[in-house]
Structure 1
C-alpha cells in the first residue's frame, strides 16, 4: 500500500481500497454488519432499545456500502461535492453509532440476572462491535474533515 496516504480528492476504482481514510469503509461494513446480526439474533425483553440500535447499524451499513460502491464505480468524477458528502455521512454516522453503542451497553445493566445467561453474550458482543464501529467512524470522520479542508 504505497498510496496509503490521505489525498485531497476521492480516488476512483479499486484505489478506494488502498487509500486512507477510504479503506476504513471495510471495517465499518464488517463491524456494522456484526452489530445488526448480533442484535437481530438476540432475544430481548425490552425491544425499544434494540430498535434504535438496529436502525443505526442497518442505516450506516447501507450508507457505507452505497458510498463504497459509488466510489469504486467512479461516479463522483473528482468533484469536491462528493468530498463534502463523505464528510456529512461520517458526521452523521459517528454520533449515531455512539448513541447506539451506549444504549446497547446500557441495556446490559437492565437485564435481570435470571435472563442474563440467555442473551448476555450476544449483547456484549454487539456492544463491543458497536463501540469498535463508532471508533472507526470517528477516525474516518477526522480524516475526511482534513481532506475536506484541503480540497
Structure 2
C-alpha cells in the first residue's frame, strides 16, 4: 500500500481499494452500516436523538459510496480540487459521526439507568450502536488526517 504522503493525487480504478487512506472506505461502510442497522432496529423513545444518529449514518454512507464510485470511475482526473473535496468530506463526516456517537452514548447511558427486560434489549442494541459509532468516527478521523496530509502535499 502506498502512503498518502508519497502520492499527492487520488488513485482511480480499483487502486482506490489498495491505497491508504482510501482503503478506509471499507471499514467506514461496515461500521457506519452497523450503526444504521442497529439504530433502525431499536425502539425509539427519543426520536430527536436517534433521528440525528440515523441522519448521520445514512448521509455518511451515501457520501462515502458516492466518493468511492467517483474515484473508481476516475471522474476526478487527477485534479487537485478533488483532493480538497476529499478532505472536506472526510472532515465533515468525522465531525458528524463524533456528534452522533456522543449523543448516542448519552442516550444509552440514560436507558441504562432504567432496569427492565424490555429496556435491556434496547440497551444492548444501543451499546453496540455506540461502539460502532465511535469506531466509524475513528475511521473517518484517520481518513481525514491522511486526506489532509495528501491535500497539503498537492
Q: Report the TM-score range of the alignment, normalised by the length of the smaller protein.
A: over 0.9
Q: State the match for 2:91 in structure 1.
A: 91
Q: State the match for 1:120 in structure 2.
A: 123
Aligned length: 149
Matches within 5 A, 1:18-97: 18-97=18-97
- Structure 1: 4+ residue segments shifted above 4 A: none
Query: 1:28: how far off?
Result: 0.6
Query: 1:41: how far off?
Result: 0.3
Distance 2:109 2:139 in 1: 25
Please give the per-residue CA displacement for 1:102-151, whole angstroms capped at 9, x wherever unaligned.
01111112212234313011111110000000000000000000000000
TM-score (norm 2): 0.94
Distance 2:61 2:121 in 1: 27
Match of 1:147, SS state, is helix
1:5 equivalent to 2:3? Answer yes
Distance 1:27 1:118 in 2: 26
1:133 equivalent to 2:136? Answer yes
TM-score (norm 1): 0.95
Please give the per-residue CA displacement for 1:59-91, whole angstroms capped at 9, x wherever unaligned.
000000010010000000000000000000011
Please give the per-residue CA displacement for 1:31-78, whole angstroms capped at 9, x wherever unaligned.
101101100000122121100000001000000001001000000000
Structure 2 unaligned segments of length 5 or more: list them: none
